[in-house]
Amino acid sequence: MLGVLAVYHLHDHCHFSERDGAMLEIVGRQTGIAITNAQLFTETQRLATTDQLTGLFNRYHFFALAPRELERARRYRHDVALLIIDVDHFKTINDTYGHTAGDTALKHIANQRELRDTDIPARFGGEEFIALLPETNLTSALRVAGRLRATIEANPVLLNGHSIRATISAGCASLHPATRDEHLDTLIQRADRALYTAKASGRNQVVSDAS
């Protein structure tokens, strides 16, 4: 059932003819086809922009949205920050508990609600996530990443009676007046270097490219 088509006669006490009924049946059928096509188009768009496992944006859609946000930040001289997040020892989770546990851990991390509706989070690939935080300076971004790290550490993944501890490492970089002209790729590289430092320093921590 897609809906109900209600039709009223302009004059009281008048009845629709069989011909009217046949025409309305055609209209109703065509309306149903149009609604179904619209629903299929919406679903196709969602699948094209969304990572099916986590429900976050996929990498392709992130790279479609992020440059526009960077350009807006440059134009209005707003801060913007970027986080790259990696699940610590993800291979160990897969090897110990199976790939289903790994998928559950990724969904668990993606569903944490520390980011705002205006932020642009995405699955970057494998066990990595990326998020662009508009109108956010480096200090605020570090605070957000720190809350996310603490929340994930404090809430183990529950699967088949097992309590699986998952932690993350995060690298953070920001676009500020001194780096106003740099491209998205450069911002990502700086956040990625900070992530590498976090992982090399023992993991389960947040590091900025200014650290």
What CA dihedral angle connects 123, 101, 194 and 203, to 10 degrees? Answer: 170
Q: Residue range 140-159: average pLDDT?
A: 95
- Are 34 and 67 in a shared domain? no
Q: Among candidates 148, 99, 147, 145, which has minimal Cα distance to 126?
A: 99
How many Cα atoms are found within 13 Å in the side-chain-facing hemisphere of 156? Answer: 9
- The DSSP H or E segment spanning 121 is strand 120-125
Band (pLDDT 50/70/90 cuts) for residue 177 is low
Q: Which CATH number goes with the domain that contains 108?
A: 3.30.70.270
- Are 39 and 76 in a shared domain? no
Rounded Cα distance, 30 and 100, in Å: 43
Residue 173: C-alpha distances to residues 71, 91, 186 (Å): 16, 26, 10
Number of domains in the chain: 2
- Are 82 and 20 in a shared domain? no
pLDDT digits (tens, 9 = 90+) for 67-108: 999 999 888 888 999 999 999 999 999 999 999 999 999 999
How much is the pLDDT for 180? 65
Specify burial of residue 77 (Cβ count, 10 A radius: 0-12, 13-18, 19+): exposed
Rounded Cα distance, 50 and 59, in Å: 9
- The answer to pTM > 0.85 is no
Q: Residue range 18-25: average pLDDT?
A: 89
How much is the pLDDT for 41? 73
With respect to residue 5, please indicate whether it lies within any of the assigned structural domains: no
Per the CB < 8 A criterion, the answer to whether 12 and 34 are in contact is: no
Per the CB < 8 A criterion, the answer to whether 104 and 94 are in contact is: no
Band (pLDDT 50/70/90 cuts) for residue 46 is low
- Are 35 and 86 in a shared domain? no
- Are 26 and 82 in a shared domain? no
With respect to residue 66, please indicate whether it lies within any of the assigned structural domains: yes
- Are 159 and 102 in a shared domain? yes
Q: Residue range 133-159: average pLDDT?
A: 95
pLDDT at 51 over 90: yes
With respect to residue 4, please indicate whether it lies within any of the assigned structural domains: no
Among 9-23, 82-96, 108-122, name the one with the lowest average pLDDT: 9-23
- Are 99 and 190 in a shared domain? yes
Q: Residue range 22-42: average pLDDT?
A: 84
Catalytically annotated residues: 127
Counting residues of the chain whose pLDDT is more than 70, the rounded percentage is 95
Domain range spanning residue 23?
A: 13-49
